[in-house]
Amino acid sequence: MSSPDTFAHVRAESLFVDDLPEPAGTLHAAVFGSPVAHGAIRAMDVESAAMAPGVIAIFTARDIPGENQLGVIIEDEPLLAEDEVHYVGQPIAVVVAESSAQAREAVKRIAIDIDKRPPEFDPRRAAARGDLIAPARTLSLGNVDEAWARCATIVAGRVDSGGQEHLYLETQAALAIPEARGRMRLYTGTQSPSVVQRVAARILACPMHNIEVEVQRLGGAFGGKEEQATPWAAMAALAAQNLQRPVKLVLLRHEDMRMTGKRHPYSTDYRLGLDGNGRFLAFEATYYQNSGAAADLSPAILERSLFHATNSYFIPNVQITGMCCRTNLPPFTAFRGFGAPQAMFVMESAIAAAAEILNIPALQLQQANLLRPGNELPFGMRIEGDASRRSFETALARFDVKARREEIARHNETSPYLKRGLAIMPICFGISFTNTTLNQAGALVHIYFDGSVSVSTGAVEMGQGVLTKLRRIVAFALGIAETRVRLESTNTTRVANISPTSASTGTDLNGAAAVIACRLIMERLKTVAAALHDTTPERIAIREERVWIGDTCGPLDWHTLVQTAYSQRVDLSAHAFYATPDIHYDKKNEKGHPFAYHVCGTAVVEARLDALRGTAAIESVQIIHDAGRSLDLLVDRGQVEGAVVQGIGWLTIEELVHSPEGRLLSDSLSSYKIPDFHFAPPRIEVDFLEDPSAPGAVMQSKAIGEPPFMYGIGAFFAIRAAMRSVRDIPCDLIRAPLTNEQILRQLEGLPPAE
């Protein structure tokens, strides 16, 4: 059954922040950002801007009544720069005018004098001089130093992966409305309502209960609105409080691209050792994460990189080190996969290098080293279940990989310019916030007199279908039709202390809390029904909106039961709380059990290469994916397909380009390529793993949003396999994205361009 949101979307009736009716007297804000990447502010002249038509006020750091600080993990990022600037586009002032056009025109009149300092954009150089956002972290398993002597083959190299623009449909936006008694209502497009609430209260020097954050839906996010929706809401709130008028701030596309962070670029050195049978014995890696100018979520993202460094493989001896390197670019931030794709790409690059040196198929090494039940991961958690191996072997058989490899080899021998390549991409992705504290959620359920149901949770709908799944969960828990259930907007006054809707945990956490709330009410309803039927509550069940006594369907329906309970003054509301059990992590010893479960799967990716032109395309992606007991196959299939295309885009066409001065050059859709309908593989086939089990997830469904992104990594190696049918491609330096320009360079025998 389609959700109400689906109908609203296709009819263009859905309201996003910029669509909301503006209260009378609403003003509009625009942001003045730093024109240079690094320097000290000597002076700023806003007089001309203040005199511009329609301008009401201009706010700078000195107008902030509270603390000028955005940082949540590390407090190192001001809302508005005061003495120094650290990246091009860093907000310095907020101009408020009668219209957005007037505000932007006034921004152009601001004059600033900055003593420029040499910027740094390279994470390796930043690390060399000790400019780290947080101390380096190292995870280890076994004894790497001792293992090298036992290796028959050792490969080493460097892997660089680029950033990625979120390019959500709805840009960053907020509407701040001052209310009586010092209250402030914020309509904002954020994945983290409580973070916006907390930071706005910090900026305005007021208690959090004075800030109400309302989130109806997001026009996409992909992680880009987890932390980075916060400053724009806080700026709008600052202006609204000072002027006591509503203030709206909506970034234009090029402003959004220039002033917000992207996926983290990584540069990594690795070494992989194998025994004579192709078994991995040792793995060592150092990850240089380009974190940008401030922490944002970089330490947490690096942690997940370390947790996923070995992907789907067991390696008994591991030593991996990660560093958050401070540079003069906008703070990089969360993006689908949250650091895991960068680490998995390194692992697959190491396997490709070993396979090429040994002159054997990469899938032979992959299959020989897949995780088995009980295998220990570098951070101490042991693998449960055998989904990694089952999905891999199922994919090989179902998609006829052996015969296709042979057919591709024959094709490449006879076709001088049009080549094909095949790659296998297994994944193993942990589900839970790596910050244990965040693995909690609340839910508020009301059953009304007419039998309809209202549900409030902390889950934010951003196109991923979480509300569809929550509606289904609640309907199932109450034994009623989904049409009776309404999911309310996300609001910090109905549900407090909301964890972000990210890490693929939205359904798991909020769904589990909603189930608990439903059970509390159901216990009361069963007591009422039992008294009416002269039986015990244990014998009562509600299915298909009827009251059942044991195996017998009774005369009482849902509507009558609810009205009876109400007449008996039975509470038909419940708040419930859920905290993921049995997860923990000791950062001192770097050991623990940080995930509730893992999601596994395998993709078979086939590429086509025109060696004469240096162009490539992905012909097909066929996937065996473990989604547990899917709550909605259509939603899950859509998430897998969308994630795969996004992953392919990251590694093949999406390229961030900056000027030598640190200005983003790929700041529009004319200069930044993204996957579109024509780019997507003509064939994407998704089969869900049979006989799944997911004891750590709600209703045995498994998280779906992030894991499939990593299947896109297979596209890089499928194209590389096709390229190697033309000439040997060195494996000591692997760099993504593998754009057409890079393909042509390497086919001509040149190294990948910086």
Please give the positions annotated as active site. 706
Strand partners, 429: 599
3-state secondary structure 406-462: HHHHHHHHHCCCEEEEEEEEEEEEEECCCCHHHCEEEEEEEECCCCCEEEEECCCCC
CB distance 239 to 25 below 8 Å: no
Q: What is the DSSP letter of 664?
A: B
Nearest C-alpha neighbor of 706 from the set 654, 620, 639: 639
Question: CB neighbours (10 Å) of residue 456?
Answer: 23
**Burial class, 501, CB count within 10 angstroms (exposed 0-12 / middle 13-18 / buried 19+):** buried
Q: What is the DSSP letter of 205?
A: T
- Three-state SS at 500: coil
Q: What is the enclosing helix (H) or strand (E) of 151? A: none
**Burial class, 589, CB count within 10 angstroms (exposed 0-12 / middle 13-18 / buried 19+):** exposed
Q: What is the enclosing helix (H) or strand (E) of 507? A: helix 506-532
| Cα 32 to Cα 108: distance, rounded to the nearest angstrom | 8
Q: What is the enclosing helix (H) or strand (E) of 9? A: helix 4-10
Beta strands (DSSP E) in 55-183 are 55-59, 84-85, 91-97, 111-116, 137-141, 153-161, 173-178
Strand partners, 428: 600
Tokens of 10: 């296709």
- Three-state SS at 599: strand
- What sign has the CA pseudo-torsion 357, 358, 364, 367? negative
Nearest C-alpha neighbor of 112 from the set 165, 70, 49, 164: 49
| Cα 402 to Cα 311: distance, rounded to the nearest angstrom | 23
Phi and psi, residue 523, nearest 5°: -60, -40
- Percentages of the chain per state (helix, strand, coil), in multiples of 5: 35, 25, 40
| Cα 336 to Cα 183: distance, rounded to the nearest angstrom | 34
